[in-house]
Every structure is written in C-alpha cells, then in structure tokens.
A = this chain, B = another copy of it.
Amino acid sequence: MPENSCLLSSMSHTPDAAGTRQAQKLRTRQALLTASLELLEQQSLSSLGLREVARAAGISPAGFYRHFADIPALGVALVEETLGSLHGVIGAVLAETGDTERRIDRSVELIARHVAEQPAHFRFLARERYGGVAPVRQAIAAQLDRFAEELTSALAADEGSRGWSGEDLRMLGGMYVDLMVMTASEFLDAEGPAALAGAGHTARRRLRLLTVGSAHWLNES
C-alpha cells in the first residue's frame, strides 16, 4: 500500500470551479465506490470495514452514512456498477454475424476486453457471487439471471435452435453465462500475455464444445 491518501484531495469543500450540490455528492459517492473496489482486490466484502472505505475515500466515517446505510448496500451498488452497463451487449454480439466461429471469437474478445479494462470489477463479481454477504449475492444472481434471459431469447431467435424447448434454451443460456463468468475469472488469474492468450484459447474451445453439443442436441436427446 503505497498511499492511503485522500482520493478527494482537491475537490472536497473547496469552492473550486465545478460542482452543483448533487454533482459533488455523486462525486464522493463515486469515490467511495472506487476506493472500496480497490480495497476489494485483496479481500472480500464481508471483511471490508466501513471506516476503512471512508478513510480510503477521504471522508469521515460518519460521512459514509450519507451515501450508504451499510457495507452490504455499497456492495449492491458495486454490483449495479459492474453489470448494469453490460445489458444488451451480448445480444449485439450474437446478432452481429451468423458465423459460429466468428461469434465465438467476438464473445471471447468482448470478455477479455472488459476484464482488461476493469479487472477489479470482475474480481469483485467472481469473489462475491458465492460470497458471505447475502444481499450482494442476491443482487449478482438477479443480474446474471437477466443476462441468461437475454441470452436465451437471443438464442431463441437464432435459426440453429429451432425445435428447442424453452427449458433447454434456458439451460443453454445459463451455461453460457456461467462459462463467461468462469472465463472472466481465468483471465483475471492469468498473469503475463502468454497465460492470457492461453486462457483465451481454452475459452474458445470450451464455447466450441458447447456449440457442437447443441448442434446435435435434438438428434441425440
């Protein structure tokens, strides 16, 4: 830990340039989220202290309560921030082209890019998916269910899944979602470009295996 500095340094209460009231509040809220996400790279939410977060964000412990009632509440907000902006992206990738191989490549690239851009968010996600804080667990489950649902309806529109039952489609969508989360975790664990490429390689092959399986699903089931 090089610096436990005040992340707000030059923006707190100084009557600087920008800052309507609520804009400033949002900025501190964001500072809390950012600071906690940084702290969460080395520990899990259930051991994260309220004071610890406030300190890292540069506000007093009591100030925390102006934004969140709890550490769990902050966790739920983090879930929102991590996954909220990703809805609709999957459908776009699937709709892009019909070529299966290219679709797989695009999907893996998409995950790799997002993970590389905001690793801490996905680390948090993987860590808390089955973590010790119930509200956060539920929030993540709800978001992932939404993803599975979106993926399911995107798959239903595809010609490759004609004749599939809704139940089977849901299962397939769920598997894709789980595969994505697992792939994201492996990208996170991968250190160095070689390991990263390897992770992408096996991720593609896993998706391909699923694709092959679903292509023959109706004939053998």
Chain A interface residues toward B at CB < 8 A: 40, 42-44, 46-47, 126-127, 129-133, 168, 171-172, 174-175, 178, 182, 185, 202, 205-206, 208-217, 220-221
Can you identify 28 A-B contacts, CB atoms within 8 angstroms?
A: A42-B132, A43-B46, A43-B132, A44-B46, A44-B47, A44-B132, A46-B46, A46-B47, A126-B130, A127-B130, A127-B131, A131-B131, A168-B205, A171-B202, A171-B206, A175-B206, A178-B178, A178-B182, A209-B210, A209-B217, A210-B210, A211-B213, A212-B216, A212-B217, A212-B221, A213-B213, A213-B216, A215-B220
What B residues does A43 contact at CB under 8 A?
46, 132
Complex Cα distance A172/B214, Å? 16
Complex Cα distance A221/B205, Å? 9
Assuming A44-B132, A47-B47, A132-B42, is B202 touching A209 (CB within 8 A)? Answer: no
What B residues does A178 contact at CB under 8 A?
178, 182
Contact B214 A216 (CB under 8 A): no
What B residues does A211 contact at CB under 8 A?
213
Contact B206 A221 (CB under 8 A): no
Assuming A44-B47, A127-B130, A131-B44, is B214 touching A209 (CB within 8 A)? Answer: yes
Extra 5 A-B pairs, beta carbons < 8 Å, given A44-B131, A211-B213, A212-B212: A40-B132, A46-B47, A130-B130, A175-B209, A212-B217
What B residues does A206 contact at CB under 8 A?
171, 175
Q: Which 9 A-B pairs have the closest CB atoms?
A: A213-B213, A44-B132, A46-B47, A47-B47, A43-B132, A126-B130, A209-B213, A212-B213, A44-B46
What B residues does A202 contact at CB under 8 A?
171, 174
What's the nearest-Cβ distance from chain B to residue A141, in Å? 9
**Which one of B209, B212, B220 lies within 8 Å of A171 (CB-CB)?**
B209
